[in-house]
Structure formats: structure tokens, C-alpha cells
Amino acid sequence: MRVVFLDIDGVINNVPSHQTRASMNRKYMIRVAPECLPPLEWLLSQTGAQVVLSTSHRDNDLEKWTQCLRDIGIPSAHVIGATPDLTRWPNNADGTLTRGHEIDAWLKQARSCCANLDYVIFDDCDDMAMHSDRLVQTDLFFGLTMDDARRAAGMLIH
């Protein structure tokens, strides 16, 4: 199984999309940069990867998120999970847990059912701890680009 851990801010939106009202998807209340969507659709359709939300926007309504991604222009999207929220208080009272730890927790649980799991992480932050070698760090100003998607495809198809 191939998985893409997906952040929203700085990945499927960018700094310019935060400066215009038109970028707000009112149905799902997320900002979208249209130019960031084709690279994600390309990666998902080329690799058959499924999406795990690692964004602070996550919730456990996976059907809603699958439909959201499809509605905004990513028809190959299938959201199969969301990382646990470990970075907020009280779980992270001392501030030592990162998004990388959340990804690690999801992977440990998933690998108990699926030993053959490959993954890549799309995020504009670098707090991936033990998963930095699987991170494709996007630029907050540009969001996800085709270069990012190609790099991720190379990591998933080796």
C-alpha cells in the first residue's frame, strides 16, 4: 500500500491564496490554490497512493474529506485515515511531540495490519523527526508543485 500524508496549509494552498477571498472553499471551509491541485492528482493517479490527513484541519470524517478533495479537483483522492492529534495540550504539555510523532503513531498502527506500506509526506514544515527522509517539504509561498510531485513519485515507485 502507498500512502501520502497530506498537510493542507502550504501544500494545497499557498501564501497568495490566503490573500484572496476567492480561494476559500465555503462548503468545506478550506483555502485552495488551484495550481497546487494538479500535482497531487497526478501523483495519486500515477502511484495509486491513498491519503492520510496529517493537517491540523483533520477530523475523522474520512468520507467528507474524500469528497472534499474530489470536489476541489483531485478525483483520484481516497482518504483512508488521519494521524492522531498528539501535538496539542494536554497530550503535548512539554512541547516535545511533533507532526512526525503523529505520523509515526499512525504508521505503527497501520503496519500491524499491512506490513508492505510505503509512504511520502507533503508538508511545509520540517518537524518530521524520524521520517525526514520521506518528507517532500513544500514552499509555503508556492504550495505543491510538479517538481514536488515527481520527487514524491520517485520515493513511492522505486
Domain locations along the chain: 2-156
pLDDT per residue over 83-117, tens digit each?
A: 998 877 777 777 788 899 999 999 999 988 887 89
What are the beta bridge partners of residue 50? 3
pLDDT over 90, % of the chain: 64
pLDDT at 141: 94
Residue closest to 157 by CA, chosen among 121, 128, 120: 120
pLDDT at 59: 75
Q: Torsions phi, psi of 79, nearest 5?
A: -85, 120
What are the beta bridge partners of residue 77? none
Residue 60 in this model has a pLDDT that exceeds 80 = no
**Which H or E element spans position 66?**
helix 62-71
Kindly write down the DSSP assignment for every residue of 124-157, as one continuous string: SS---GGGGGGEEEPBTTTBS-HHHHHHHHHHH-
Average pLDDT over residues 51-65: 87
From the CB of residue 158, how many other CB atoms can be counted at a distance below 10 Å?
6
pLDDT per residue over 18-51, tens digit each?
A: 888 778 888 888 889 999 999 999 999 999 999 9
Half-sphere exposure of 19 (CA within 13 A, CB side): 5
Residue 158 in this model has a pLDDT that exceeds 80 = no
Check if the beta carbon of residue 83 is closer than 8 Å to that of residue 50.
no
Average pLDDT over residues 54-75: 88
Burial class (CB in 10 A: 0-12, 13-18, 19+), 135: buried
> Which CATH class, in words, describes the domain spanning 2-156?
alpha beta
pLDDT at 37: 95
